[in-house]
Amino acid sequence: MSEALYQSIVLDRSRHPHHAGRPAVFDVEGKSENRMCGDMVSVFLSGADVRHEADGCAILVASAELMCEAATGKTDGEIAILSDRFEHLVKTGQENPELGDLNALAGIAQYPSRLRCATLPWSALRDAIAKGGSAGDTANG
């Protein structure tokens, strides 16, 4: 229970990320960093592909991973809704069936000082979208 946040999906994704690495070619790079702790994350959008480069703790990397998976192919509008729901999830700990695997991070609500670790990739994604990128290959906004 006490280590619930570090359940297998979070550990597994942080150690074996599927969406990590800077692509050779991409449309837009979004960035976000937490100066307090030195964590940094970049999100790359190219076509419908969403990838990340995360330098930080297991929560940050796992959150970036799950976000990339959830955001791929989504329109900007859908991502905005997803982002709001995710924020609600990590602040309240209330799981939401719409969020799928992202629910693995619900436990962060018990660790207020770690909230930024989970939300940092989403800031980077919003930054990328603000710079004109899109995760949906057909619709842009």
Q: Which residues bind other proteins (CB under 8 A)?
A: 2-3, 5-6, 11, 15, 36-39, 55-59, 111, 113-114, 117
Residue 122 CB, shortest distance to other proteins, in Å, is 18
In what order do the strands lie in the sheet containing 39-46? 28-34, 39-46, 49-55
Per this entry, what is the length of the chain?
Answer: 141
In this complex, which beta carbon is closest to other proteins, that of residue 61 or of residue 129?
A: 61
Of residues 1, 3, 2, 5, the one with CA closest to residue 93: 5
Residue 139 CB, shortest distance to other proteins, in Å, is 37
In this complex, which beta carbon is closest to other proteins, that of residue 17 or of residue 136?
A: 17
In this complex, which beta carbon is closest to other proteins, that of residue 29 or of residue 39?
A: 39
Q: Which residues contact 138 (CB under 8 A, 6 or more apart)?
A: none
In this complex, which beta carbon is closest to other proteins, that of residue 28 or of residue 37?
A: 37
Q: Which residue has tokens 């509008």?
A: 77
Task: Determine the Cα–Cα distance for residues 139 and 47; give it in Å rounded to an integer.
Answer: 10
Residue 42 CB, shortest distance to other proteins, in Å, is 15
Residue 45 CB, shortest distance to other proteins, in Å, is 25
Of residues 59, 58, 68, the one with CA closest to residue 128: 68
